[in-house]
A and B are shown apart, each in its own frame.
Chain A
Amino acid sequence: MKKTRLYIPHEKAGAKFVEFFGWEMPIEYSGIIQEHMAVRQHAGLFDVSHMGEIVISGNQALDFVQFLTPNNAARLDKNKAQYSALTTPQGTFVDDLLVYCLDENVYLLVVNAANTEKDFQWVLSHKQGFDVELQNQSDNYTQMALQGPEAPKILQPLTEIELKDMTSFGVEKGTVSGVEAIVSRTGYTGEDGFEIYTLSPNPERIWEAILEEGRAYGLLPIGLGARDTLRLEATLMLYGNDIDESTTVLEAGLQWLIKFKKGDFLGREALLKQKEDGIQKKIVGFELIGRGIARPHYPIFLDDKKVAEVRSGSFSPFLQKSIGLTYLPIEFTEIGTEISIEIRGKQVEAQVVPTPFYKKVVEQ
């Protein structure tokens, strides 16, 4: 099993580990609920080095990224990242990802750990005809996420980058506690915060410095357990649960990332047709009204007929409810629609609710 360069600090911090697609990752340190609430109220620090990093470079790097992804990568520059996807010709997901423009003709795709190898092969298989080079840098990058309302205050003393000038999805190169890094104002929690990438062999200097600086603010190290509950409350998609090769970008409610006018890309034709014809199913959020917790794959019924399965489903520490995501036939996606979920053989009442389940309060 692979270990990140931060494994020893995790062990010292008393992490409980879990295998996650070939990586030995912290699932929790002090407890999922406590960690979850620390990120909502103060700040949290995540090791997300299991994420994959694929670098595309060369004269036609931009053209190639434009062909692979539905968002408009031409809008990127060295100071801006974007959320996008690798799409199949059917408009479904090979993966969802972040795209960074590291330099002229150099793009970084940050992909899911579960898909890194699949994505690399996918990108490689479409390379023909493009003057580009590919590198799988996944084992070289350490990636950390500092998330929560206190994140800017904690990070600023450790870097010369002017954080207050960074907008959402802004990117800057610089140093964090003396270590060279790329910092972006991105995350997977529904809170303000930053993701930090470094190729340094000593990433623990950043990790330890943030933990130290954050102590006075109530910062905690956060495992994959709370990462999942945080992203679900914020209705951020998890590949393999909420999106996959059977769901299209439109069905997943991510139409905003498709830029039809930018020119051709994989899946464009299929997505354009689906947009014109209308989608048959759509992702919705639900909450349980009855008691229990809806977990992935539990059957969902509409008037005694099984229509779907729970995709993501968990207890929400912030809302203190059982929440989840599923795909329903389009005519049953209205807010308030009553559904039932089978939990250990019993039907439990639930209803369609607005998403995101949680939205941060924006300070004026």
Chain B
Amino acid sequence: MYPDNFYYTKDHEWVKIDGDKARVGITEFAQKQLGDVVYVELPQSGAQLEFHQSMGVIESVKAVSDIFSPISGEVIEINEELNDSPELVNEDPHDKGWIAEIKVKDKTELEKLMSASEYEKFLEGLEE
């Protein structure tokens, strides 16, 4: 369910590293909690983000929730497909439903994040 090559946060976001780029999205668990996503407010391309800064908003029918930057750096790409098809976040959260790409400033920040098995353990703890 949770890809091994991703990093995860306690805010239920994932990070996929490709060289000095980090692709970011929300997890399967997060999309289930949110329910039907109907609007995504994407970050601005070029925005400079600090670790855990609010970079956008996801709205489901019922709820509004912040997307926090899981890593510091500059936004270099955003998933504009979400403007017309926000439901991609529900349908394919770990791939087509990605939110943004960030140029990583400091790779050591990844040490603060969880591996897939750590994240799964974290989720088990939440369900108890």
- Residues on the A chain within 8 Å of B57, using CB: 344
B61 contact from A16, A32, A291, A292, Cβ within 8 A = A32
Q: Quick one: given A225-B62, A315-B61, are A293 and B35 in contact (CB under 8 Å)?
A: no
**Is the CB–CB distance between B41 and A33 below 8 Å?**
no
Partner-A contacts on B (CB < 8 A) = 35-36, 38-39, 41, 57, 59-62, 64, 83
The interface residues of chain B lying within 8 Å CB-to-CB of A33 are: 36, 38, 61
Check B64–A32 contact: CB distance below 8 A.
no
Q: In whole angstroms, what is the CA distance A168 to B60 when docked?
A: 34
Q: Are A295 and B64 in contact (CB under 8 A)?
A: yes
Asked, given contacts A293-B59, A315-B59, whether A31 binds B36 with beta carbons under 8 Å apart, the answer is yes
Please, how many angstroms separate the alpha-carbon atoms of A34 and B35 in the complex?
A: 11
Sorted nearest first, the 6 A-B pairs with minimum C-beta distance are A315-B38, A32-B61, A33-B36, A293-B59, A31-B36, A315-B61
Q: Which residues of A contact B62 (CB under 8 A)?
A: 27, 32, 225
List 5 additional contacts besides A16-B35, A31-B36, A34-B36; criterion CB under 8 Å: A32-B35, A32-B60, A33-B36, A291-B41, A292-B59
Give CA–CA (A33, B41) in the complex, Å.
20
Instruction: Give the shortest distance, in Å, between A229 (CB) and chain B (any CB).
Output: 6
- Most A CB contacts (10 A, CB to CB) among B35, B64, B83 go to B35
Contact of A229 among B41, B61, B64 (CB under 8 A): B61
Q: Which residues of A are found within 8 Å of B64, using beta-carbon distances?
A: 293, 295
Contacts of B38 in A (CB 8 A): 33, 293, 315
Interface size on A, residues (CB 8 A): 17
**Residue of B whose beta carbon sits closest to that of A314:** B61
Per the bound structure, the CA–CA distance linking A119 and B59 in Å amounts to 35
Residues of A within 8 Å of B61, CB to CB, are 32-33, 225, 229, 314-315, 317
A195 in the interface, Cβ–Cβ < 8 Å? no
Who on chain B is nearest to A18 by CB?
B62
Contact partners of B41 in chain A: CB under 8 A: 291-292, 344
B60: chain A residues at CB < 8 Å are: 32
Residues on B with beta carbons closer than 8 Å to the beta carbon of A16: 35
Residue of chain B at shortest CB distance from A32: B61
In the complex, whether A242 has a CB less than 8 A from a CB of chain B is no
In the complex, the chain A residue whose C-beta lies closest to that of B54 is: A344
The answer, yes or no, to whether A28 is at the interface (CB within 8 Å) is yes
Q: Would B39 and A31 count as touching, CB distance under 8 A?
A: no
Count chain B CB atoms within 10 A of each CB in A27, A28, A291, A293 and give the residue with the most.
Answer: A293
User: What would 18 A/B residue contacts be, using CB atoms closer than 8 Å?
Assistant: A31-B35, A31-B36, A32-B35, A33-B61, A34-B36, A225-B35, A225-B61, A291-B41, A291-B83, A293-B38, A293-B59, A314-B61, A315-B38, A315-B39, A315-B59, A315-B61, A317-B36, A344-B41
Output the nearest chain B residue to A320 by Cβ-Cβ distance.
Answer: B38
CB distance from A238 to the nearest CB of B (A): 14
In the complex, what residues of B have CB within 8 A of residue A31's CB?
35-36
Query: Which residue, of B41, B60, B61, B83, has the highest number of chain A Cβ atoms within 10 A?
Result: B61
Q: Restricting to A242-293, which residues have a CB under 8 Å from any CB of B?
A: 291-293
Chain B residues with Cβ below 8 Å from A293 are 38-39, 59, 64
- Write out the residue numbers on chain B whose beta carbons fall within 8 Å of the beta carbon of A229: 61
How far is A293 from B62 in the complex, measured between Cα atoms in Å?
A: 10
